[in-house]
């Protein structure tokens, strides 16, 4: 089974930037979707950004204009560029993938994804 490994988390000050990466150990499929989710203790996992197999994207309202999701197919790698970070962005960030991309209105729902990474922590201080 394909494994997802995230990297790039860390501690930054408010207004700073980070770039997360997620490397897939193999091909997920031509109709796959990939996404980033985040979670803080005691809260449900929240969809942050997703990208479809032809490159369409979807973002949570809270990150629109600050975060950019993209992938490099030749490297089997998904990225999340995060700019203008806020303390509210502090969370464990998870990469996820599904071999069969659902309708775009479901791209930010955790239950649509069957492959998950272990997560990378992002901490933003004020």
Count of Cβ atoms closer than 10 Å to residue 56 Cβ: 12
pLDDT, residue 106, reads 96
In this predicted structure, the answer to whether residue 109 has a pLDDT above a threshold of 90 is yes
- For the segment 53-81, what is each residue's pLDDT rounded down to a tens digit? 999 999 999 999 999 999 998 889 999 99
Nearest by Cα to 49 from 22, 25, 76, 26: 22
91 contacts 42 by C-beta, under 8 angstroms: no
Percent share of the chain, pLDDT over 90: 90
pLDDT, residue 30, reads 84
Query: What does the pLDDT average to over 91-110?
Result: 96
- For the segment 4-54, what is each residue's pLDDT rounded down to a tens digit? 999 999 999 999 999 999 999 998 888 899 999 999 999 999 999 999 999
In our burial notation (b when 16+ CB lie closer than 10 A, e otherwise), range 74-88 reads eebbbbbebeebeee
pLDDT, residue 29, reads 84
pLDDT, residue 73, reads 87
């Amino acid at each position: 089974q394909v494994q997802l490994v995230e990297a790039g988390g860390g501690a930054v000050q408010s207004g700073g930037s980070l770039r997360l990466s997620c490397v897939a150990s193999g091909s997920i499929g031509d109709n796959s979707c990939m996404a980033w989710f985040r979670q803080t203790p005691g809260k449900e996992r929240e969809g942050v950004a997703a990208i479809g197999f032809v490159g369409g994207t979807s973002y949570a309202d809270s990150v629109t204009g600050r975060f950019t999701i993209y992938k490099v197919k030749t490297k089997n790698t998904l990225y999340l560029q995060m700019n203008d970070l806020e303390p509210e962005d502090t969370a464990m960030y998870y990469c996820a993938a599904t071999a069969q991309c659902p309708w775009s209105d479901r791209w930010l729902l955790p239950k649509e994804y069957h492959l998950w990474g272990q997560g990378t922590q992002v901490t933003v201080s004020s």
